[in-house]
Amino acid sequence: MLTGTAAGIAAHLGIDPTLVRVLFCVLAFMGGAGVPLYLAAWLLIPEEGTDRPIAADLIDRARFTFGGAS
């Protein structure tokens, strides 16, 4: 609910967002795979209305901060 990741995945798949959230929770408690999958989805899936994922913006900021841009 904080990042909209589960809602976005659910909208893309045409299912209820609660099912996606429950799936992430089950995966988190059954071996921990839900947490890294959720974080990866949050970083790699672009926000609605944009073409760039959050990870691309973070990489660009890191390059600028650590001297990649002169």
What SS3 class is residue 52? coil
Asked if the model's pLDDT at residue 1 lies above 80, the reply is no
* Across 18-36, average pLDDT: 95
User: Tens of pLDDT along 33-68?
Assistant: 999 999 999 998 888 888 888 888 888 888 777 765
Q: Which of 11-15, 27-31, 48-52 has the lowest mean pLDDT?
A: 48-52
Q: What's the N-to-C CA distance of the chain in angstroms?
A: 39
